[in-house]
Amino acid sequence: MIPGATDRPLIFLDVDGPLIPLSSRPPGHRTFRDEELSGYGNPLLHRLDPDDGQRLLALNCELVWATTWMADANEVISPLLGLPELAVVEWPDTDEDPPHGLHWKTEPITEWAAGRPFIWLDDELTEADRQWVASHHGCRALLHRVDPHTGLTKADYSLIRRWLAE
């Protein structure tokens, strides 16, 4: 293990919304060329921002996949974005909705963090999740909702960097 590695905040990453927005990228935005995505057979990958990997790595946190893509995130998204293989949060196998309007990811993510500071980037989290984490996680946490129509923007990265610098 790298010395000090466990001191770094975690960043839990959702894929659909933050990295693959609901809408196509605006004209002029850099995206992958067709030939770079040939063989993947998923047209939504055209919505990835090829530079998000470098931007995320530059935050110098420990990145963790927190997505329904599960292991596919390491198979497909990590190589395209130039990310290493990341740890993946496993989800409980249940159809029951968690109480108090919580997102179904909130408890597993908080448990995974195990008291370490963390950032969670997702398009579906709400104030209920923030409140629950504030009262159940004994450490700093930034639950940042990303607009699923834009994906991660410069403003999102600025906010994250400010939080990390605090």
Q: Which residue is nearest to Mg ion (CB)?
A: 17
Q: How far is the CB of 147 from Mg ion (least distance, A)?
A: 11
Phi/psi region, residue 127 (left: phi>0; alpha: psi -120 to 50; beta: rest), is: alpha
- Binding-residue total with Mg ion (CB under 5 A): 4
Q: How far apart are CA 118 and CA 145, in angstroms?
A: 14
Q: How far is the CB of 1 from Mg ion (least distance, A)?
A: 30
Phi/psi region, residue 101 (left: phi>0; alpha: psi -120 to 50; beta: rest), is: left
Pattern of binders to Mg ion over 6-45, x per CB under 5 A? --------x-xx----------------------------
The answer to the question of residue 147 lying near Mg ion (CB under 5 A) is no
Pattern of binders to Mg ion over 114-143, x per CB under 5 A? ---------x--------------------
Residue from 10, 3, 2 nearest 61 by CA: 10
Rg of the chain over Cα atoms, rounded to whole angstroms, equals 16
| Smaller CB separation from Mg ion, 8 or 76 | 76
DSSP state of 23: S
Where along the sequence are the contacts to Mg ion (CB under 5 A)?
14, 16-17, 123
